[in-house]
Amino acid sequence: MLTLKEAVSEQELADSKDIRRKVFVDEQGTDEAVVFPESDEESTYVIMYNGAKPVATGRLSFEDGLWMIRAVAVVKEERGTGLGDFLMRYLIRRAFDMGIDEVYLHASADIRGFYEKLGFEAAEEPHIDRGAACVLMKRTGDIGGKCC
């Protein structure tokens, strides 16, 4: 059974951190300082469990005047099952339930299409960040449905 909720307990936050470490640091080689910024504690995290196993996470944070969806990660063995789509819809809905009109994210070129299917559009020209092509994307308007 899938459970998706805001990560508030120490264990839920630790589970979120473990997923981010596996996906971003171990698999993708991203520097820990980037994956775990100082502003990390000011973010709203969500965590998804399949039974008792943590399988996906993401965060919503206010950065430089923009509400950002960040650190969306699904463990390797659960990718391609729709969990990333479900997690993104939850984060978008959660943002709009909080009264946020627009949400942004940074997308690498290889997953830009995934975010476009969720209604995100490029908010600026693509650029190179840490050696990879990426683009700031924006979604205006709610995704629909009820959340939280």
Could you tell me the pTM of the whole model? 0.88
Task: Quote the tokens at residue 70.
Answer: 């960040």
Residue 140 lies in a domain: no
Asked whether the predicted pLDDT for residue 110 surpasses 70, the reply is: yes
Express each pLDDT in 58-79 by its tens digit. 999 998 899 999 999 999 999 9
Tens digits of per-residue pLDDT, 77-103?
999 999 999 999 999 999 998 899 999
In this structure, what CATH number is given to the domain that contains residue 19? 3.40.630.30
| Residue 113 located in a structural domain | no
Residue 87 lies inside a defined structural domain of this protein? yes
What is the span of the domain harbouring residue 68? Answer: 2-100
Domain total for the chain? 1
| pLDDT value for 3 | 94
Please check whether residue 32 lies inside any domain of the structure.
yes
Whole-angstrom distance, CA of residue 54 vs CA of residue 48: 6
pLDDT of residue 85: 93
Q: What is the pLDDT of residues 20-48, one digit of tens each?
A: 999 999 998 888 888 887 766 788 999 99
**Is 144 inside a domain boundary?**
no
The secondary structure of the chain, three-state, reads CEEEEECCCHHHHHHHHHHHHHHHHHHCCCCHHHHCCHHHHHCEEEEEEECCEEEEEEEEEEECCEEEEEEEEECHHHCCCCHHHHHHHHHHHHHHHCCCCEEEEEEEHHHHHHHHCCCCEECCCCEEECCEEEEEEEEECCCCCCCC
Of 40-44, 54-58, 143-147, which gets the smallest average pLDDT?
A: 143-147
Top pLDDT among 130 and 81 is at 81
What is residue 129's predicted lDDT score, i.e. its pLDDT?
A: 73
**Which pLDDT score, from 0 to 100, does residue 109 have?**
83
